[in-house]
Amino acid sequence: MKNILYLVLITMISCNAETTFKINGEVSNLNGDLLYAKIENGRPINLDTIKVIDGKFNFEAKNLLEDDFRFLIPISNQQTFIKIFIDNSDIQLKGNADSLSNVEITGSKSHTLFENLMNQYEKIDTETQLLILEIQMAKNDEDGVSVTNLEDKLYTNEDKKPQLFIDFAKSYSNTNVSAWALLQIVSFVEYNELYPVYEMLSDKVKASTYSETLKAILDDLGKTAIGVKAPEFSLPDAEGKNISLSEFKGKVVLIEFWSPMCTYCRLENPHMVDLYSIYKDKGFEIVGINVEGNENLDIWELVIEEDKLIWSQLLDKVGVADVYKVNNTPYNVLVDTDGVIIAKDLHQDDLDKKLEELFK
């Protein structure tokens, strides 16, 4: 199943030089004081309390780290909050307690960059939501042609999201907002595309915890990057016989991660059958891996038979999909005759072109 990129706010404290931040606010209808907090492991950690008088407050935070998210949370209603990407400057807040998410924040260059980025992201996401609605309407009308065309538009539109964050990081390599942005898309962009962008970040930004976390994830992703040896595995087929990747050395192998419950996987199966018939006698092999483990085994075997999947079909009982960083299905990894990964996540025309190139 294709994944839609819904942004999850990843927050943690950064590692830049300690500095002082001044926050001056005027928020009408704000009753009671504010908690000054950061987020750690998905939960708010209170750092201080800000005294509020008639909706106005002045707060100076010393010895805190710059370029990171901070949250102002009303003590009287902790379900709402003001989110700020701070830097070492005087920051002004102005708005109404009835709409804290729309409080105007000025003075922080980092927050302005973050806000502009998110405005662009939300514009793309709005287009995505409209396309999803149109797809559902087309499905209700049983208009298959429109569904296909709209889904193509949807995934083209979704590709704009990670590219937006990549372009931002390239343009603003000296702010931790860029490290934060890259961290949001690390599961949606291939290592070989993302790592060079990480390398463009300034030394200051690379010292942040955002970057440290990003680098650790990238190092892990690098183990299955294009150009490296494909990790070995040995998995059982439907009869319980273990089959290893190394058994296919000397052949071009397409490792196909799929699920019998995945609609997109089944839609691709006829095309895979055609490709296998064309290239199997030229040194091409497919290894199907069912990512569901022990679930839906009867359906798995039925789909194999119905869709005429005559190549090796293996059951992932040990987390090979995790090793290969599979986030959605169908997903594939193309391995050359030496066992080196040469391409990933190729489908339809892209896969056709790659195989034509290899077997011309």
Q: Which of 1-5, 73-77, 148-152 has the lowest mean pLDDT?
A: 1-5
**199-228 pLDDT, tens per residue?**
999 999 998 888 999 999 999 999 999 999
Looking up tokens 């930004």, which residue turns up? 205
How confident is the model at residue 87, as a pLDDT?
A: 83
How confident is the model at residue 64, as a pLDDT?
A: 58
Alpha helices in the chain (DSSP H): 109-140, 144-171, 176-185, 191-200, 203-206, 209-221, 263-279, 297-306, 320-323, 349-358
- Residue 325 near residue 256, CB atoms below 8 Å: no
Q: Cα–Cα distance between 231 and 151 in angstroms, integer?
A: 33
* One-letter amino acid of 140: N
- Residue 283 near residue 250, CB atoms below 8 Å: yes
Residue 246 burial (10 A CB sphere; 0-12, 13-18, 19+): exposed
CA 323 to each of CA 146, 200, 259, 291: distance values in angstroms, whole numbers, following the listed order: 37, 27, 17, 12
Mean pLDDT of the chain: 91
Looking up tokens 């942005």, which residue turns up? 181
Strand order in the sheet with 43-50: 43-50, 34-40, 68-74, 82-86
**305-358 pLDDT, tens per residue?**
999 999 999 999 999 999 999 988 999 999 999 999 999 999 989 999 999 999
**152-196 pLDDT, tens per residue?**
899 899 999 999 999 999 999 999 999 999 999 998 898 999 999
State the Cα angle at 158 between 223 and 119, rounded to 5°: 110
How confident is the model at residue 328, as a pLDDT?
A: 87
Q: So what CATH class is 234-358? A: alpha beta
Average pLDDT in the 268-297 region?
A: 94
State the Cα angle at 20 between 14 and 24, rounded to 5°: 110
Check: CATH 2.60.40.1110 for 18-106?
yes
Helix and strand counts by DSSP (H, E) for the chain: 10, 15
Q: Which two tokens stand for residue 9?
A: 């706010």
Q: Is the pLDDT of residue 11 over 60?
A: no
Q: Are strands 331-335 and 312-315 parallel, antiparallel or unpaired?
A: unpaired
Q: Which of 242, 236, 248, 221 is nearest to 344 (CA)?
A: 221
Of residues 191 and 21, the one with the higher pLDDT is 191
Q: Cα–Cα distance between 70 and 36 in angstroms, integer?
A: 7
Q: Are strands 252-258 and 284-290 parallel, antiparallel or unpaired?
A: parallel
The answer, yes or no, to whether the previous bond of 162 is cis (omega within 30 of 0) is: no
Domain boundaries, the chain: 18-106, 111-224, 234-358
**70-117 pLDDT, tens per residue?**
999 999 988 899 999 988 788 999 999 999 989 999 999 999 999 999
Q: How confident is the model at residue 120 (pLDDT cuts 50, 70, 90)?
A: very high
Q: Cα–Cα distance between 324 and 312 in angstroms, integer?
A: 18
pLDDT above 90 covers a percentage of the chain that reads 77
Q: Is the pLDDT of residue 63 over 70?
A: no
How confident is the model at residue 142, as a pLDDT?
A: 93
- Could you tell me which residues are beta bridge partners of residue 315? 290
Strand order in the sheet with 90-96: 56-65, 18-28, 90-96, 104-106
* One-letter amino acid of 89: S
Q: Is the pLDDT of residue 303 over 90?
A: yes
Q: Is the pLDDT of residue 15 over 80?
A: no
Of residues 295 and 7, the one with the higher pLDDT is 295
Q: Which of 3-7, 128-132, 238-242, 274-278 has the lowest mean pLDDT?
A: 3-7
Length of the chain (residues)? 360
Q: Is the pLDDT of residue 13 over 50?
A: no
pTM for this prediction: 0.79
- Residue 40 near residue 149, CB atoms below 8 Å: no
How confident is the model at residue 351, as a pLDDT?
A: 96
